Amino acid sequence: MLIPCESQDGAVPVWFAAKDSWPRIKASLPDSARNFAGACGFEPVPGRCQILPNAAGGIAAVLFGIEPESAGFRDLFLPGELANLLPAGLYRFANAPYDAEAAALSWVLAGYRFGRYKHNGREPPKLCAPPGVDVARVERIARAVALGRDLINTPANDMGPDALEAAVLSLARQHGAKAAVMRGAELLQANLPLIHAVGQASAKPPRLAGFIFGEETHPKVTLAGKGVCFDSGGLDIKPEPAMALMKKDMGGAAAALAAASMVMAAGLPVRLRVIIPIVENAVSGSAMRPGDIYQSRKGLTVEIGNTDAEGRLILADALALGDEEAPDLLFDFATLTGAARVALGPDLPPFYTTDERLAADIERIGASVQDPVWRLPLWEPYGKLLESKTADLNNISGTPFAGSITAALFLRRFVEKAKSWAHFDIFAWTPKAKPGRPEGGEVQAARLVYELLEARFEARR
């Protein structure tokens, strides 16, 4: 929790100690504190925390190790670990970490708990906002991230298509956005056949929910997010280990909604459109089959090579819809491929774009705000792997190689008019807790996109 403090008197000081700064900090401490730290064997190792007592048995100060200036990589979110290590109380930064705003944000993000089904009674420590840190900005980012994490962490029995649709409409209402929903057969009437095909086997009908926020004269920014509330794999059913975390297969929708929440709360001067295709990939007599062929919104026919490659199908119609009005920026978020995890692991989502300026901005901003991504190529020769003998293209490549790249190439076939497009193949989950990132759902690339939009369009106010 971040507290605006008129005075930081009474707050426990936290000293950030690196190998190069520790001698100076140690020399400034009272003899009793310096001796206690020495007796405990404190060294300024990144992540090491040492509480220093006062004469009354309370906490006089806290020492916390961070990387030195010379380190090749510095984790700007490392101070967030203090939110898990310290007891309840009010704290302040006695000296500045490398990035005070990132440290404050990570403190707040680390305090997130998913308490819908099991409550954690621990009172989190409070932090006095460091000088110069915009508390309102940190809070709106943290609220948006918490929204997305809650959506991902909620199991599919409570986060099915109805609930995800309700979340889209609730966010739209909060910010006065104009929302609309199409369900079931309405999708066919509206020429969204791939979304309908993927979700037709579920007892809960497929749908497309979305909203528009901002003035028509502002730059057009469109966000699309994969909303598969549970992915059994369809008739190409997943094995049990691969199905265990499929409640998070709507993580792309959660990331898009989190980014949209930040944009709308900040009042950025953009005309924001959010498009969320929502389905459950279930098994029943009406499920799509391998070998079936469907026509897409764009007019391209698609052969179903595998029913477990459903995310790209619903995104294809969503992207084609968003692309029709030629937005200035079109982003999509999706838990699309296991191949992306094999290539880059769970913490580093790949992204794809043909816009060199956009790619440079994404890489730079992602690194600067601790929301990292890594660019992979839209390698054109691999597009031939998506060829079909009976349709315009297949939804899979039919090979075990370059799965994330071929999925991105598939999506690119449905983007034509947008001035710039980027696709994020996210994992949407933190397998093991890290500073600022508790174990569980995570809206990867959402903060990055918000920061990018803020950097590009804030000056237009």
pLDDT per position as a tens digit, 209-245: 999 999 999 999 999 999 999 999 999 999 999 999 9
**Is 14 exposed, middle or buried (CB count within 10 Å of its CB: 0-12, 13-18, 19+)?**
buried
Handedness of CA 364, 367, 372, 377 (dihedral sign): positive
Fold classification of 2-133 is Leucine Aminopeptidase, subunit E; domain 1 (3.40.220)
Q: What is the average pLDDT score of the chain?
A: 95
**Does 448 score more than 80 pLDDT?**
yes
pLDDT per position as a tens digit, 81-123: 999 999 999 999 999 898 999 999 999 999 999 999 988 777 8
On whether the CB atoms of residues 250 and 158 are closer than 8 A, the answer is no
**Does 289 score more than 90 pLDDT?**
yes
On whether the CB atoms of residues 288 and 307 are closer than 8 A, the answer is yes
pLDDT at 306: 98
401/410 Cα distance (integer angstroms): 15
pLDDT at 1: 83
pLDDT at 460: 59
Read off the pLDDT band of 9 (50, 70, 90).
Answer: confident
Residue 430 has a CB neighbour count (10 Å cut-off) of 18
Read off the pLDDT band of 458 (50, 70, 90).
Answer: confident
Question: For 139-460, which CATH superfamily applies?
Answer: Zn peptidases (3.40.630.10)
pTM of the model: 0.96
3-state secondary structure of 458: helix
**Does 266 score more than 80 pLDDT?**
yes
**Of 242, 41, 7, 249, nearest to 131 (Cα)?**
7
374-375 vs 350-352, strand pairing mode = parallel
Tell me which amino acid residue 62 is: V
pLDDT at 459: 64
83/366 Cα distance (integer angstroms): 23
263/194 Cα distance (integer angstroms): 29
126-128 vs 2-3, strand pairing mode = parallel
Domain ranges in the chain? 2-133, 139-460
- Residue spans of alpha helices (H) in 284-385: 311-323, 338-344, 356-368
pLDDT per position as a tens digit, 320-376: 999 999 999 999 999 999 999 999 999 999 999 999 999 999 999 999 999 999 999
Read off the pLDDT band of 6 (50, 70, 90).
Answer: confident
Helix pair angle (356-368, 446-457), 10° resolution: 110
Read off the pLDDT band of 313 (50, 70, 90).
Answer: very high
Write out the catalytic residue numbers: 238, 312
437/365 Cα distance (integer angstroms): 18
Distance between start and end Cα atoms, the chain = 30
